[in-house]
A and B are shown apart, each in its own frame.
Chain A
Amino acid sequence: MSNKAETAPRRPHDTLINRQLLTEADPPFINLTDQGVAGLAYRLFTHISYTSGTASDLLQTPPETFEEAISDFVNAAKSVYVLLAKTSSTEESRSLQQPIPETIERIVAALFDAASDEEFEYGLTSQFASALGAIVHRYGVGGVETIQRHIGTGDVRVDSIIEALHTLARIQHTPSRSERLLLLLRNLFADSARVRCGAALGLAYLDDPKALPFLRQALERESSSSTRVCFQRVLEQLEDTERQG
């Protein structure tokens, strides 16, 4: 059995990744203690590298696993962080703490794009979900609003929208809870029956009886028999939750 990990030459990432990060991947927004953000940034970075054709040197020896990729990325990001800490002015340091809306938009768009070939299974946390969770923890309500806007563009794969709805429902982040609930309620009335069902399943994760009047209204209007089953199950759960107080 071959062992590629032992025989593969080291990638020349120290210089190339750093240069890419400084120009493309917005290193100020990388939380070095957060694997989710590191994973997101790596995906964003590789996406940009591939689409701009600059990946040939850097990725000629791809990492064996995603965990290895994150590890490599975190190491490279630490180098960048040290570099920035040494050289940045006070003004630059302040900017590291302030998210720039266009940057979040760009990250979210790249993330959905990168997720276009990912399969989503019950019970497994997808890379896409980890990264979305990191965005909400990092950017709070602004992150949720950006995701909502992106979903609303109509140019997103339905599977990715459903995964995003499930993820937003399951995140433990109190400051954005109302926005996430609203986003799910809006999507109960989406054009796609599968998205409507995905939104209802998201409401089940949140388990908030405040959603009941909207869910009942959505059930009344629902034309897809499959989505009706989905709504009905969630309705039963939320009514049960309400009864239990």
Chain B
Amino acid sequence: MPKLFRALLKKNKWFWDEPLPWLEQGDIPADPLEHLIPNQFRLSVYEVNDDRSRIERVAAAIAAKRHGDIDNVEFVVFDQSILDEVGIQIDTAPPLGDTCDAEVNTWHRDMINISANKLVAFAKRIVPTVQSDWVLAKKIHEVILESIRMSRYEWSKVNLKKKDELQQEALQ
């Protein structure tokens, strides 16, 4: 079964400090749901399998789209079979991703027709069992430089503040 990648934008919101005495058995805190807010009933993910280099490519492409500095990308990777368990479908012909890396865009998938009940069921399934992971800023920097050298990036979609310096660094 394919593995799916979901980036987490807010810092350190996926896990929490135990214990939360008010939390009922089998329930989860609501904060991690911030990372799972659908748009037009869809949630954007990338198919990465267990391939770390592919995860790093996706993370770097997402980081390059940001308007600030190169930074860590925090993410979760989960098995697509979880979606079957909670009744969420994957679009078989999704729109391409919108990153600067054309190949990464072909790995884009959309979870579709997401209702509130399905979203909560999905969150309750993955939040307690799937740990967040990071591609650190230093690695992101390396992958972006490599991608520039290999002409993988559509440069107009790179929004980083220091994109010109990066381009010069890559070409040195």
Contact = CB atoms under 8 A, between A and B. Distances in A.
Interface of A: 119-125, 158-159, 162-163, 166, 192-194, 197-198, 201, 204-205, 207, 224-227, 229-230, 233-234, 237
Interface stretch (B66-74, B86-94, B97-105, B113-121): B66-74
Contacts of A226: 14-15, 131-132
Nearest to A228: B131
Interface stretch (B5-13, B43-51, B150-158, B164-172): B5-13
Given A207-B138, A233-B133, A237-B136, A121 B12 contact: no
Interface residues of B, number: 27
| Shortest beta-carbon contacts, A-B, top 3 | A123-B66, A123-B71, A226-B15
24 contacts: A119-B10, A120-B11, A121-B11, A122-B71, A123-B67, A123-B70, A124-B67, A124-B68, A125-B68, A158-B17, A163-B11, A192-B17, A198-B11, A204-B72, A224-B15, A224-B18, A225-B131, A226-B132, A227-B15, A230-B134, A233-B133, A234-B136, A237-B136, A237-B138
B161 to A, nearest CB: 9
B83 interface: no
B99 to A, nearest CB: 14
| Main DSSP-derived SS at the B contact region | loop
Contacts of A233: 133-134, 136
Nearest to B133: A229
| Main DSSP-derived SS at the A contact region | helix
A194 B16 CA distance: 7
A10 B16 CA distance: 45
Contacts of B66: 122-124
A233 B133 CA distance: 8
A205 B137 CA distance: 7
B61 interface: no
B136 A123 contact: no
Contact of A194 (B12, B63, B73): B12
